């Protein structure tokens, strides 16, 4: 059975490489250390940031750990992704404009001052069972905005839970990053969620970008949700609201990334891949860890690629790639010519995901 044979109106995540159809999750950064993709995030000796500085492997640079050990990869991923992730979230249109929160949830004081509110304070308690591969769920909690620092007055507005079993494809790695495709029906719509962890950050900072794609006669990007989050401690199912202790801040109305930071040529210095066969694996099914792949390929982006720049040095890209294939990509510019990206191709056929580190190619090289 094909990976998405029961979802024929929905695409498969698969990579693009040369003439091959593949979904590519790309992480651009300076040239990696020799072991950078061979053991991403193997240092699990982290502590609660509220109690002191956490330690994190400087090699946690890609969204998944390309290790061939299978169960070990899931155990590491589960250990690092589980916990309380708090921060802020916002929604953007298909052209990158921030969407204001509904008027009925915004305090009167903001309306009197003429202040537009675009950001939700959020919680994302996440739990993965290290002994049960692919048993993961998280709960997205949106808190009502308050005036000033009113941690005690924080009130839950919405709470939505997701379980990995409802994804049509899910790729993961030891750094706690992942990519997932979430079908939404009955209309042919898919949400592609890219969870990217900032490399070498002791505070364990991540962004999750969710691209909503409508797949009718003409596929189009409906919008992008962005969540900027930090790890605050072991899993407690969101029982304690972050309030003023949250180190993140509202960002939706901030300065957008310059498109010049995105366009140009990049080189894949290290790569890893996961492949789905024609028949789903009886144990892992649609859930896949990543193994080492051949590096060295180059990728060029230009302004006609459907690039949408966002605040927090982020971008989203969506474009048709021909033959019923559509490129979904997000990126996080880190400075000094480096970035993390997650890139995939949606298609009715395909069975592969690739993760890579890339460095910017200078003119003349």
Per-residue pLDDT of 155-203, as tens digits, reads 899 999 999 999 888 888 777 888 888 998 888 899 999 999 888 767 7
Residue 4 located in a structural domain:
no
Q: What's the N-to-C CA distance of the chain in angstroms?
A: 45
Residue 3 maps to a domain? no
CATH assignment of the domain containing 22: 2.40.128.20
Q: Mind listing the pLDDT tens digit for each residue in 42-74?
A: 233 323 333 333 333 322 233 333 333 443 488
Containing domain of residue 48, as a range? 12-360
The answer for residues whose C-beta is within 8 angstroms of residue 34's C-beta and 6 or more apart is none
Is 2 a member of any domain? no
Residue 126 lies in a domain: yes
Consecutive H or E run containing 264:
strand 264-275
Q: Look at phi and psi of residue 126 and say left if phi exceeds 0, alpha if psi is from -120 to 50, else beta.
A: beta
pLDDT score at 248: 85
Phi-psi region of 59 (alpha: psi -120 to 50; beta: other; left: phi over 0): alpha
Which of the residues in the chain have pLDDT under 70? 1-72, 149-153, 201, 241-245, 270-285, 348-357, 364-365
Q: Does residue 300 form part of some domain?
A: yes
Number of domains in the chain: 1
Q: Is residue 20 part of a domain?
A: yes
pLDDT at res. 134: 85
Does residue 5 sit within a domain? no
H/E stretch holding 71 reads: helix 71-81
Question: pTM of this prediction?
Answer: 0.80
Q: Is residue 144 part of a domain?
A: yes
């Amino acid at each position: 059975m094909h990976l998405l044979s029961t979802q024929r109106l929905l695409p498969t995540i698969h990579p693009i490489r040369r003439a091959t159809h593949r979904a590519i999750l790309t992480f651009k950064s300076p040239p990696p250390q020799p072991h950078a993709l061979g053991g991403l995030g193997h240092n699990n000796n982290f502590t609660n940031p509220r109690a002191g500085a956490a330690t994190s492997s400087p090699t946690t640079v890609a969204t998944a750990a390309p290790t061939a050990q299978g169960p070990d990869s899931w155990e590491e991923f589960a250990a690092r992704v589980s916990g309380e992730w708090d921060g802020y979230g916002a929604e953007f249109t298909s052209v990158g404009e921030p969407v204001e929160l509904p008027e009925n949830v915004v305090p009167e004081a903001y309306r009197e001052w003429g202040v537009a509110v675009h950001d939700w304070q959020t919680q994302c308690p996440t739990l993965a069972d290290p002994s049960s591969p692919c048993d993961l769920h998280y709960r997205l909690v949106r808190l009502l905005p308050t005036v000033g620092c009113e941690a005690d007055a924080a009130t839950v507005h919405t709470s939505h839970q997701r379980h990995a079993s409802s994804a049509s494809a899910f790729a993961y790695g030891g750094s706690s990053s992942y990519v997932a495709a979430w079908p939404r029906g009955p209309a042919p719509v898919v949400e592609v969620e890219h969870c990217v962890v900032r490399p070498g950050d002791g505070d364990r900072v991540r962004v999750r970008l969710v691209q909503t794609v409508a797949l009718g006669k003409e596929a189009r990007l409906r919008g992008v949700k962005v969540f900027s989050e930090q790890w605050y401690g072991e899993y407690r199912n969101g029982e304690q609201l972050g309030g003023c202790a949250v180190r993140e801040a509202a960002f939706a109305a901030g300065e957008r990334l310059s498109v010049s930071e995105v366009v140009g040529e990049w080189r894949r210095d290290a790569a890893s891949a996961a492949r789905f066969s024609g028949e789903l694996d009886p144990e892992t099914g649609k859930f896949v860890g990543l193994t080492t792949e051949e590096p060295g390929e180059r990728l060029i982006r230009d302004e006609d690629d459907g690039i949408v720049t966002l605040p927090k040095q982020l971008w989203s890209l969506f474009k048709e790639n021909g033959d019923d294939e559509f490129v979904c990509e997000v990126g996080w510019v880190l400075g000094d010519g480096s970035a993390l990206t997650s890139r995939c191709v949606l298609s009715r056929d395909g069975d592969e995901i690739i993760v890579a580190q890339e460095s910017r190619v200078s003119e003349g090289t």
